[in-house]
Amino acid sequence: MTNSSTNDIAERATSYTADMVQFLRDMIAIPSESGDEERVVRRAAEEMERVGFDEVKIDGFGNVLGRVGSGKTVIALDAHLDTVGIGDRSTFRFDPYAGIVENGIIFGRGASDQEGGMAAAVHGARIAKELGLLDGVSLWVTGTVMEEDCDGLCWQYILREGVLRPDVVISTEATNLAVYRGHRGRMEVEVRTQGRSAHGSAPERGINAIYKMAPIIEDISRHNDELVATADSFLGKGSVTISAIRSTSPSLCAVADSCTIHLDRRLTKGETERSALDAIAALPSVARAGATLSVLDYSRPTWRGLVYPTRKYYPTWLLDENHAALRAALDAGRCALGQTPEVGKWVFSTNGIATAGMFGIPTLGFGPGNEVHAHTPEDQCPIDHLTISARFYAAFSAAFTAQSR
Residue burial 228-242, b: 16+ Cβ < 10 Å; e: rest: eeeebeebbbbbbeb
Alpha carbons within 13 A on the beta-carbon side of 2: 5
In the chain, the amino acid numbered 22 is Q
* Mean pLDDT score of the chain: 97
Query: What's the pLDDT tens digit per position in 244-259?
Result: 999 999 999 999 999 9
Backbone angles phi, psi at 311, to 5 degrees: -85, 150
pLDDT score of 404? 83
Query: What's the pLDDT tens digit per position in 274-322?
Result: 999 999 999 999 999 999 999 999 999 999 999 999 999 999 999 999 9
The dihedral region occupied by 45, where left means phi > 0, alpha psi between -120 and 50, and beta the remainder, is: alpha
Residue burial 121-158, b: 16+ Cβ < 10 Å; e: rest: bbbbbbbbbbbebbeebbbbbbbbbbbbebbbbbbbbb
**pLDDT per residue as tens, the chain (405 positions):** 677 789 999 999 999 999 999 999 999 999 999 999 999 999 999 999 999 999 999 999 999 999 999 999 999 999 999 999 999 999 999 999 999 999 999 999 999 999 999 999 999 999 999 999 999 999 999 999 999 999 999 999 999 999 999 999 999 999 999 999 999 999 999 999 999 999 999 999 999 999 999 999 999 999 999 999 999 999 999 999 999 999 999 999 999 999 999 999 999 999 999 999 999 999 999 999 999 999 999 999 999 999 999 999 999 999 999 999 999 999 999 999 999 999 999 999 999 999 999 999 999 999 999 999 999 999 999 999 999 999 999 999 999 999 987
Tell me if 171 sits within 8 A of 178, measured CB to CB.
Answer: no
Tell me if 136 sits within 8 A of 401, measured CB to CB.
Answer: yes
Going by DSSP bridges, is the β-strand pair 73-80/168-171 parallel, antiparallel, or unpaired?
Answer: parallel
Percentage helix, strand, coil, to 5, in the chain? 40, 25, 40
* Domain 3-183+316-404, classified CATH 3.40.630.10, yes or no: yes
Query: What's the pLDDT tens digit per position in 20-30?
Result: 999 999 999 99
pTM score, whole prediction = 0.95
Query: What's the pLDDT tens digit per position in 330-341?
Result: 999 999 999 999
Which residues are bridge partners to 141 per DSSP?
66, 77
Residue burial 48-58, b: 16+ Cβ < 10 Å; e: rest: beebebeebeb
Same CATH topology for 3-183+316-404 and 185-298? Answer: no
Domain boundaries, the chain: 3-183+316-404, 185-298
Rounded Cα–Cα distance for residues 119 and 27 (Å): 9
Element (H, E) at 137: strand 137-144
In the chain, the amino acid numbered 395 is A
185-298 architecture in CATH? 2-Layer Sandwich (3.30)
Catalytic sites, residue numbers: 82, 147
Rounded Cα–Cα distance for residues 20 and 378 (Å): 20
Rounded Cα–Cα distance for residues 227 and 271 (Å): 10
Element (H, E) at 314: strand 313-314
Residue 203: CB atoms within 10 A of its CB come to 14
Q: DSSP letter at 338?
A: S
